[in-house]
Amino acid sequence: MKLKGRVWVFGDEINTDLIFPHSAFRVSPEEQVKLVFSDNRPGWSSLVKPGDILIAGKNFGTGSSRPGAVLLRRLGLACMVADSINGLFYRNAISYGFPALQCPGVSKMFEEGDIAEINMLEGTVTNLRTGETRTGNKLSKLMVDILLAGGIEELLIQEGYMD
């Protein structure tokens, strides 16, 4: 599973309240997407194009279990890669079908607008402008199957465990 796209860079300790702000709870899914990161980067969601990639620092997704990964997926991001990802957020991302990869040092590799190439099976991240490559945590075959199906619920439906 290889992905390539334009990069958006975020820092350390990006919590789920920033990804999925409180103001997004009582609006439609279409409106929720417009509010992603609206508290710390107003208007950012309107700049994102399908296939873009989010690069972040340490402890991405810390906080509550708000389904921030769902909004990032609905926004059209191809995936996210961070120096480290909060465990609950990481599991939710994969379960919701949003590719996420941990790769220590990745946040120092990119400037916004760079193009990243990511191989989820090998765990490699390459900056196509500089040629720098780092290796992070590889995804298991089962995790990739979940992502390719569009999430764990979709995989269970495809395999006949759910209607």
**pLDDT, mean over the chain:** 94
Enumerate the domain spans of the chain. 2-158
Tokens of 112: 């916004």
Mean predicted confidence (pLDDT) in 85-90: 94
Among residues 33, 34, 40, 10, which one has the least CA distance to residue 108?
10
Q: Given this model, what pLDDT does residue 20 score? A: 87
Decide if 123 contacts 3 (C-beta within 8 A): no
When mean pLDDT is compared across 2-16, 17-31, 114-128, the lowest value belongs to 17-31
- pLDDT of residue 21 exceeding 90: no
- pLDDT of residue 14 exceeding 90: yes
At 57, is the secondary structure helix, strand, or coil?
coil
Top-tier CATH class for 2-158: alpha beta
Q: What percent of the chain has pLDDT over 90?
A: 84
**How do residues 33-84 score in pLDDT, each as one tens digit?**
999 999 999 999 999 999 999 999 999 999 877 788 999 999 999 999 999 9
